[in-house]
Amino acid sequence: MKKYPIYIKITFLLLLAMLLFRSLVDAEFILVPLVFGSLFAILLTPIGDRIEKWGIHRSLSSFLCIIIMAIIVAGLGFLLARQVVSFINEWPNLADHMNRRLIEIQCYIERQTKLSPTSQISWLKDKLSTSGSLFSGTLSATASTFATIALIPLYTFFMLFYRDRIFVFFEKITPKEQHETVYQIIERIKALVQSYLSGILIVMFIISVIVSTGLKIIGVPYAIFLGVLAGIINVIPYIGILSAASLSILISTVMMDSETAPLFVGLLFLVTHLLEANIITPNIVGSKVSINTLASLLALIVGAEVWGVVGMILFIPMVGIAKVVLDNVDHLAPYGYLLAKMEAGKHSVTWRGTFRRMKGMFSVTSKKHDAKGSKTL
């Protein structure tokens, strides 16, 4: 077999990556609902199997699974819609507070910089005009993506209905000696998707309760709306919780006279993020999507470039699925290792290790004090 120089291999891989990227962008209308449908079908497979054990035909069981999914989505949508309507009804009051606070800020800036309010507004308009095209482009891309949402239940139904045929297809395209590996990959992907999606719903509920309760205690207006919004957009790693925190800090700054309220809101979201990242998500979602932070960040960036906000949501489980395949194929295992999380060791940061180090520091300090005391005596 002919061996090619390394620069030819790198060039080929770069061209392949560019072709794949362009294909994903152009096929967004087809692939986005298909990926969603596949993930939902894997999540609903245990329910479909349970219904079929009762003697119900697969077509009817698949339809019932779609009904269950629609009820859950409708419930979440109704909960969010109620909070949005409540927020919109209070918008005149919020706008009045914002105008008064804006005037106060303008007067403060004028005192500090001698810049008139008219000049401040013109400067702000210039900045907004430069970012307006980017915002409108993102909004239109997101709207076109969600226009395909009607296809998701259809794809989910057929994925459930033909799941045995799809399983046999993977058997037929692989050699018989590799069937055991194929079975392991399929089972691990099923476990990953089911754990990830069901865990996300639970984490979403917990974050909503924590943030809503904390904002209520601080006294921030629209606490329930902001808490529910934080729970929902937390599905976008890192960026979701940051966006919710920014909006909550802005509202607390505008609507509340307290100067410390925004600080407490920021601390609330910081503590919530630490709890979610180190305790809640690892114990509920588990380590099924065990990709490291760098891989997650790259997945977010590439997903945003390919499919916008929807890509930021989908690319995390997609990279997790890719890692499962890489781990189970011998010559691709190094790439799976590159995506994996760091194992608990001397370079990893854990709650238990942090407490142990703190305890060691205090014990060393106390020993030094004891030694000084004994010398003095």
The pLDDT tens digits for 256-291 are 777 788 899 999 999 998 888 777 777 776 555 678
Instruction: Read off φ and ψ for residue 221, nearest 5 degrees.
Output: -65, 155
Q: Nearest to residue 259, comparing CAs of 93, 87, 91, 101? A: 101
362: left (phi over 0), alpha (psi -120 to 50) or beta: alpha
Asked if the model's pLDDT at residue 6 lies above 50, the reply is yes
- Other C-beta atoms lying within 10 Å of the C-beta of residue 291: 20
Q: What is the mean pLDDT of the chain?
A: 79
Give pTM, 2 decimals. 0.72
Q: How far is CA 116 from CA 98, 99, 123, 124, 194, in A?
A: 19, 17, 11, 13, 58
35 touches 307 (CB < 8 A): no
The secondary element (H helix, E strand) that includes residue 106 is: helix 91-113
Percentage of the chain lying above the pLDDT 70 cut: 76
The secondary element (H helix, E strand) that includes residue 175 is: none
- For the chain, counts of helices (H) and of strands (E): 16, 0
- Other C-beta atoms lying within 10 Å of the C-beta of residue 362: 10
Q: Give residue-wise pLDDT tens across range 326-335.
A: 888 888 888 8
Beta bridge partners of 225: none
Q: Could you give the CA distance from residue 300 to residue 296 in angstroms, rounded to a whole number?
A: 6
> What is the predicted pLDDT for the residue at 125?
56
Of 140-144, 163-167, 243-247, 277-281, the range with the lowest mean pLDDT is 140-144
Angle (CA) 24 30 33, round 5°: 105
341: left (phi over 0), alpha (psi -120 to 50) or beta: beta
Question: What letters, b where the CB count within 10 A reaches 16 and e where it falls short, cover 173-197?
Answer: eeeeeeeeebeebbebbeebbbbbb
**280 secondary structure, DSSP code:** I
pLDDT band at 114 (very low <50, low <70, confident <90, very high): low
Q: Give residue-wise pLDDT tens across range 33-56.
A: 999 999 999 999 999 999 999 999
Q: And the tokens for 86?
A: 């409540």
Q: Nearest to residue 245, comparing CAs of 221, 222, 229, 224? A: 229
Q: Could you give the CA distance from residue 209 to residue 214 in angstroms, rounded to a whole number?
A: 8
- Other C-beta atoms lying within 10 Å of the C-beta of residue 367: 10
Q: Could you give the CA distance from residue 47 to residue 65 in angstroms, rounded to a whole number?
A: 7
Q: Nearest to residue 58, comparing CAs of 72, 43, 44? A: 44
Q: Could you give the CA distance from residue 127 to residue 133 in angstroms, rounded to a whole number?
A: 11
Asked if the model's pLDDT at residue 93 lies above 80, the reply is no
> What is the predicted pLDDT for the residue at 352?
55
Q: Could you give the CA distance from residue 290 to residue 293 in angstroms, rounded to a whole number?
A: 10
